[in-house]
Structure 1
Amino acid sequence: MTGAVDPADLATVEAQLGRRPRGVVDVAHRCPCGDPDVVRTLPKLNDGTPFPTTFYLTCPRLTGAISTLESSGLMAQMTERLGQDGELAERYRLAHEDYLRRRDELGEVPQIAGISAGGMPNRVKCLHVLVGHSLAAGPGVNPFGDEALEALPQWWSRGSCTGEEE
């Protein structure tokens, strides 16, 4: 587990989400604008609810851009490629294992044991999770998260992710 999260970062995340963030243990990635855009969360929230989304996107511009990608049919194309490309399927399986390992570092939760997120390792169900994983883990870990990142516009180009500089 990591140390305390900077209160200024938590305030930024709250402004981004429009609600108080839950279970945040650290900032997993910062947007090029400097604000947090991915937080790492506990696998079990304070109220006992299992929470499998270890890498949670907070930037509204980034999540909006990813939603646009999702609506384009990209996830179905990615899932189809999994069945056609054994090497890609293996890399995606390894991404699934990486996700589980990173979540298990924060605590084990039997209700979600072996279940990662985003459809891993058998399909592509949520680009938000895959991009969050790619941003937090770095390039080369999650092939579909990396591909989605490459397809996104520069969401940070208008300044702060909180929208305060517009």
Structure 2
Amino acid sequence: MTTSPFPPATDADLAVLHEQLGRPARGVVGIAARCVCGNPTVVATSPRLPDGTPFPTFYYLTHPAATVAMSVLEAAHSMRELNDALAEDEELAADYARAHEAYLRDRAAYGEVEEIEGISAGGMPTRVKCLHALAGHALAAGPGVNPIGDRALALSSWSPDRCVCAQPGAAG
């Protein structure tokens, strides 16, 4: 294992995460992305939870407004359109495959878990299955790493550049 590139979660972060998730956060190894106001938006999660459960979703989207925005896109069938784009655009497919490999490398720094070997998240590397996971990866890794996560964020009503944490229904 290597030193985490992510700041560790503070007690205040864990309290916000509890509020965001409606339960205690599990296996947090760091805060991978924050809202412009400083609240956690994406957590990096251990590939094996404290109870021993394998957990492939290394980048876990926690921000309530971001999760709602991804749910709205999924309900609007945006995943079908993104899957079509993935099938039709060889360059996009190659970039998405590289995103999958980057995700696996990031998670592997926190330990190899045989049960989830080669499994990343969100349907990578061949399909779009969960925009929450792909947006979480895009936010944590930065623009240009996960092209489908980037597209989902661009299509959504939520922006990482605008804080909505104090609005009703959002944690903060």
How high is the TM-score relative to the length of structure 1? 0.93
Q: What is the letter of the counterpart of residue 88 of structure 1?
A: L
Q: Return 5+ residue gaps in structure 2 as ranges.
A: none
- Say if 2:97 is the partner of 1:110: no
Which residue does the alignment assign to 1:160?
166
The one-character-per-residue Cα deviations of 1:70-113 (angstroms, maximum 9, x if unpaired) are 11111111111222111110000000000000000110000000
Which residue does the alignment assign to 1:51?
55
CA distance in 1, matches of 2:31, 2:145: 18
Which has the larger displacement, 116-125 or 32-41? 32-41
CA distance in 1, matches of 2:41, 2:61: 6
Provide the identity percentage: 53
Which has the larger displacement, 53-62 or 89-98? 53-62
- Say if 2:65 is the partner of 1:61: yes
CA distance in 2, matches of 1:135, 1:151: 14
1:1-166 alignment, distance < 5 Å: 1-2=3-4, 4-154=8-158, 156-160=162-166, 163=170
In the alignment of these two chains, the number of paired residues is 165
Greater helix share, structure number: 1
Shift in Å at residue 47 of structure 1?
1.0
Local SS of the residue matching 1:48: coil
CA distance in 2, matches of 1:4, 1:147: 28
The one-character-per-residue Cα deviations of 1:18-66 (angstroms, maximum 9, x if unpaired) are 1000000110000123210100000001111000000111111110111
Q: What is the letter of the counterpart of residue 170 of structure 2?
A: G
Q: What is the letter of the counterpart of residue 32 of structure 1?
A: V
